[in-house]
Amino acid sequence: MIISLDDAKIIYPDVTQEELDGIEQSIRAETNNPFQNKHIRFEDVRFEDNHTLVLLGEAEGIRNGDTVQISGSKWNNGLYVIQDVDGMTITLSGEPRLFAGNDTGAFLTKIEYPPDILSGVMKILKYDAKMADKIGLKSKTVSRMSETYFDQNSTESIAGYPAAMMSFINKYRLMKW
């Protein structure tokens, strides 16, 4: 998670966790960058139940609130947020609904977003808070006051936001192979 729901609600009170997840997925898809810290990776993950997994060794380098990505699993691939770390046991927050069992090919990697990604997401939330009721409105005139809004078409937008606003992701773009 780039920003917590509580922090996002300070900026934009109507935001939902689904919208934040959508922004995160859009950034990851547009940049083709998983933002993985490959130095903090754990292999041979055992899934205990719906929300608990056990590592082969100590869970060093991760803590409560960190985002991790499970890859190489037959059933449980995805992004998850850590609720609790206790030795080799990790409890995930929310309702991840993991499938229990040993998955020898599965590995867990810590996800770290740079500070300017967080800053960019905060700007997106401010934009949403300000412009949510103006979508589809190009100009407005009341009495002698006139307002004209940015005309946004498919060539001038990225993931539904003005391209200039999304320019913070450009330096994180990776080639797609």
pLDDT digits 0-9 by tens, 8-31: 999 999 999 999 999 999 999 999
Given a cut of 90, is residue 177 above it in pLDDT?
A: no
Given a cut of 90, is residue 164 above it in pLDDT?
A: no
Whether 60 is in a domain gets the answer yes
> Are 103 and 52 in the same domain?
yes
Whether 177 is in a domain gets the answer no
Structural contact between residues 109 and 36, judged by C-beta atoms closer than 8 angstroms:
yes
Model pLDDT for residues 131-140, shown as the tens digit of each residue: 876 665 567 7
> Are 26 and 45 in the same domain?
no
- Residues with Cβ within 8 Å of 76's Cβ and at least 6 positions away in sequence, in order, are 47, 70, 98, 99, 103, 106
> Are 44 and 93 in the same domain?
yes
Q: Which domain holds residue 93?
A: 36-111
CATH number at residue 83: 2.40.30.180
Whether 123 is in a domain gets the answer yes
- pLDDT of 71 reads 95
Whether 154 is in a domain gets the answer yes
> Are 28 and 45 in the same domain?
no
> Are 29 and 59 in the same domain?
no
Quote the CA–CA distance of 138 and 157 in Å, as a whole number: 15
**Sign, CA torsion 47/6/59/21:** positive
Counted domains in the chain = 2
